[in-house]
Structure 1
Amino acid sequence: MEQTELVTLLAISICAFICPIASAAIPKKLIPETVFLLIAGMIVGPHVLGIAQIGDAITLLSDLGLGFLFLLAGYEINPKEITGKGGRNAFFTWLVTFGIAVAIIIFIPSFHSNEFGWLAVVIALTTTAFGTLVPILKERNLMQTNIGKLILEYGTWGEICPILAIAFILSTRSTWVTVLVLVVFAAIAIAMAVIPANIRQKSEAFVKLMSDHAETNAQLTVRAVMILLIGLVALSAIFDLDIVLGAFAAGFALRFILPAGNNSLEHKLNGIGYGFFIPLFFIVSGAKIDPSAVGEHPLILILFIVMLLLIRGMPIFVSLSIRQDTKNLDTRSRATVAIYCTTALPLIVAVTNVAVGAGAMTTDTASLLVAAGGITVLIMPLLASLTLYAIDKNSSSTSKKQN
């Protein structure tokens, strides 16, 4: 068993090294590295070459990768931005997408085997992979632009709401028990943010201790973040909540503790996360895709992607068109935000895992949905980059005419 796990880890490490090179070889990085990681995982996985066998040890490492992805995504979010007027519009838009998804999926039996299954598909159709979008937006220097801030608003609620929906809708517990569990979880998560923040503000000796050992072999700041991440992920597992909730909460907590950021710490966390754990998560996700299942039902795959555009993308476009602060945006800019927010992979993996584990969804359907999510990571940023290119070209032409 140990030999198999080590061979699997070696195969994953080689794939993780090759994929960014392949992505960089394509002009303007039109195909994100994530797509190559998914494809590589599918090829070396049990359904194709069979080199990588996903056992308990690899699954644990993959879960940590998912945790790092959402930790770093949560850390990027400014709570003031998502609770302001724009954030409230984004939240209301998510509710609209959820209602549309319910109205449509309940009549399509191909996606589900029972009530639990169709609700899982509904959640999958309303997600935005903000954690996946963050590195893509950074690569394209969009994070601090107006478009990037709008993607953050809609993308954040497109991640938070499905996470909570998984806890409420896909839980086998009664509603009041779920509410109680979430309240207790939130209280502990808040305490894990507030207590260190207060100590940081009031204890100069503690701050000096952390600072003095931040760059030594002790790496105290990194170890503290790992306690925060693993602590909240473990807590979510103990409470039978999806680990994504714990990781996202850890990211929010870290931002609360370090509101002004910490470049050195961020560099180290990016190195650990994007250097090893996060690519491992995507490769393992790709290994779960069964190409034969996808090949047998190509129309369902296409249908799911089209529905993502209509159910998730279109309401965002409409919302941007009627908001007072965004309705003057040109059509291409609104389309760019909507298309980016239709990228939907990591939470699809989480939702399908829950549904398959509960016997509410077949592994073939789960493979289709994960494959569709992987395809959105390819085509949505590609389409969005084309609309942005059209915007830039149009702006250049306009400025030349004015001159």
Structure 2
Amino acid sequence: MSFIELSLICIVALLGPLLAAREAWHLPLVLGELLAGVVVGKSLLGWVDAGNQTLTFLANIGFALMMFVAGTHVPIRDKTIRAAIGKGALRAVVTAVVAVALGIAVALLFASSKAPLYAVLMGSSSAALVLPIIDSLALKGTSILELTAQVALADVAAIVALPLAIDPTNAMPKAVGALAVAVCAVAVWWILRRFERNGARRRLHTLSEHRKLALELRIQLSILFALAGLAALFNVSIMLAGFAFGLAVSAVGEPRRLARQLFAVNDGFLGPVFFVWLGASIDLRQLASHPAMIGLGLALGAGAVVAHAAGRLTGMPLPFAVASAAQLGVPVAAATIGRSLGVLAPGEDAALLLGALVTIGTTTAAASLAARGQRDPSAQPG
């Protein structure tokens, strides 16, 4: 990977701000960045090699940092989040039940034996996509707290369930790895809380701000990368490491200066690199050689939207319920693992990603509708 290629990625990622700049469209930053990646990646121009190890490493850093920031945005210290977690868990369960039924139906329709995989995909949510969309559109309210809890729980559950669905022989080591990451995140929270209570964190903050040392940012990044390294050691998604550490920081309280520093690093560079890389890794040309897989992809995408729309039955406004359907990390992981194990039919990996794109488009439209409703009280979603 060269500086020219990195410059190209940063330039095409500007499509995100260009689309989001027009407030009337209510489009999130990530949509333009993903579309830019599709254009310059495997599907069209081929200018960006998503398989490049250096680019992949940078993208993984961006993914971990973005999930850390997303975790810090979960208002754990807010008492209302307790009720939100309960309702979010209930909706995640309802979505999972509907996804199982739809997974069986899709498997029967396409004469496939992968009903468990399809169910996991349709029941999953991508915190890496949904939470940045919510943040970029400035969506607020109790329903958003409940949506955040639902997406986080569904994402973690899907990451844990995916190995069992597609590679059951390695499910136990991954579960052990997820538990190890969670235990370490709890330990970090305990240490941070102790430093906060004895005043050590405030003294460090004062010194860092006065001497321009950026100590808090350095320490937080060191911990984040250590947890990500632990997750990689156990072949667990670094999403879990980043999000769990973000929750730990949120539970203690994130300093405003650190939040501004993380915003600059994540939203200005590593986040866009991650989304362009994701878009570039998708090869939609495979679908042309296997037309039946187009139907499978559309069915998976539609099934995911229907499964998440079932949240309306528990009182969630329909636009918010549909907005929770976005997925990408789990389908990408499923396609990658499936290809390496040789368990997917020709073109099926592209079908999984097509289904993910359907959910992304639907989520973007639903979130935009919800944003318009919050700005126009007469158009509140119901």
* 1:311-350 equivalence runs, <5 A: 311-314=307-310, 316-320=311-315, 334-350=317-333
Q: Name the CA shift for 1:187/1:394 in 2 (closer, same or farther; >3 Å).
A: closer
Tell me the residue number matched to 1:286: 279
Once the 2 structures are TM-superposed, how far is the Cα of residue 355 of structure 1 from its aligned partner? 3.4
CA distance in 2, matches of 1:101, 1:287: 28
CA distance in 2, matches of 1:57, 1:202: 41
CA distance in 1, matches of 2:228, 2:80: 23
Q: Name the CA shift for 1:11/1:216 in 2 (closer, same or farther; >3 Å).
A: farther
2:34 to 17, 38, 53: 38
1:149 to 145, 152, 173: 145
SS in 2 for 1:376: helix
2:91 to 81, 85, 93: 93
Paired letter, 2:188: M
Q: Do the aligned residues in 2 keep the contact of 1:5 with 1:53 (CA within 8 Å)?
A: no
Q: What per-residue deviation string (whole Å, max 9, x for no partner) do you get for residues 160-203 of structure 1?
A: 32233236555655666555444433322211221232133225
Q: Do the aligned residues in 2 keep the contact of 1:335 with 1:384 (CA within 8 Å)?
A: no
Q: Say yes or no: does 1:15 pair with 2:8.
A: no
Once the 2 structures are TM-superposed, how far is the Cα of residue 208 of structure 1 from its aligned partner? 1.5
Tell me the residue number matched to 1:246: 241
* 1:212-251 equivalence runs, <5 A: 212-214=207-209, 216-251=211-246
2:155 to 156, 159, 162: 159
Q: What per-residue deviation string (whole Å, max 9, x for no partner) do you get for residues 29-73 of structure 1?
A: 333222221221111113421211121110001111111221111
Paired letter, 2:214: Q
Q: Do the aligned residues in 2 keep the contact of 1:289 with 1:368 (CA within 8 Å)?
A: no
Once the 2 structures are TM-superposed, how far is the Cα of residue 112 of structure 1 from its aligned partner? 9.2
Q: Say yes or no: does 1:377 pair with 2:360.
A: yes
1:53 to 26, 35, 49: 49
Q: Name the CA shift for 1:363/1:68 in 2 (closer, same or farther; >3 Å).
A: farther
Q: Do the aligned residues in 1 keep the contact of 2:138 with 2:371 (CA within 8 Å)?
A: no
Which of structures 1 and 2 has the bigger CA Rg? 1
- Relative to the length of structure 1, the TM-score reads 0.81
CA distance in 2, matches of 1:363, 1:273: 36
Tell me the residue number matched to 2:302: 306
Range with bigger deviation, 238-247 or 354-363:
354-363
Once the 2 structures are TM-superposed, how far is the Cα of residue 152 of structure 1 from its aligned partner? 2.0
Q: Let me know the Cα RMSD of the aligned residues.
A: 3.1
* 1:243-282 equivalence runs, <5 A: 243-256=238-251, 258-259=252-253, 261-282=254-275
Q: Name the CA shift for 1:180/1:18 in 2 (closer, same or farther; >3 Å).
A: closer
1:189 to 185, 189, 206: 185
SS in 2 for 1:213: helix
Q: Name the CA shift for 1:228/1:394 in 2 (closer, same or farther; >3 Å).
A: closer
Q: Name the CA shift for 1:138/1:244 in 2 (closer, same or farther; >3 Å).
A: closer
Once the 2 structures are TM-superposed, how far is the Cα of residue 82 of structure 1 from its aligned partner? 8.6
Paired letter, 1:352: A
Q: Do the aligned residues in 2 keep the contact of 1:113 with 1:360 (CA within 8 Å)?
A: no
Paired letter, 1:150: E
Q: Say yes or no: does 1:104 pair with 2:102.
A: yes
Once the 2 structures are TM-superposed, how far is the Cα of residue 311 of structure 1 from its aligned partner? 1.5
Q: Name the CA shift for 1:250/1:215 in 2 (closer, same or farther; >3 Å).
A: farther
Q: What per-residue deviation string (whole Å, max 9, x for no partner) do you get for residues 73-131 of structure 1?
A: 1111234669734422321332332233233323534999986x543332221122333
Q: Do the aligned residues in 2 keep the contact of 1:335 with 1:387 (CA within 8 Å)?
A: no
CA distance in 2, matches of 1:179, 1:135: 27
CA distance in 2, matches of 1:121, 1:216: 54
Q: What per-residue deviation string (whole Å, max 9, x for no partner) do you get for residues 220-246 of structure 1?
A: 111111012111111011122121111
Range with bigger deviation, 380-389 or 93-102:
380-389
Q: Do the aligned residues in 2 keep the contact of 1:356 with 1:362 (CA within 8 Å)?
A: no
CA distance in 1, matches of 2:32, 2:108: 29
CA distance in 1, matches of 2:112, 2:209: 52
Paired letter, 2:258: L
Identity of aligned residues (%): 19
Q: Do the aligned residues in 1 keep the contact of 2:67 with 2:243 (CA within 8 Å)?
A: yes
Q: Name the CA shift for 1:158/1:242 in 2 (closer, same or farther; >3 Å).
A: same
Paired letter, 2:192: P
Q: Do the aligned residues in 1 keep the contact of 2:282 with 2:350 (CA within 8 Å)?
A: yes
CA distance in 1, matches of 2:37, 2:370: 30
Once the 2 structures are TM-superposed, how far is the Cα of residue 10 of structure 1 from its aligned partner? 2.2
Q: Name the CA shift for 1:111/1:90 in 2 (closer, same or farther; >3 Å).
A: farther
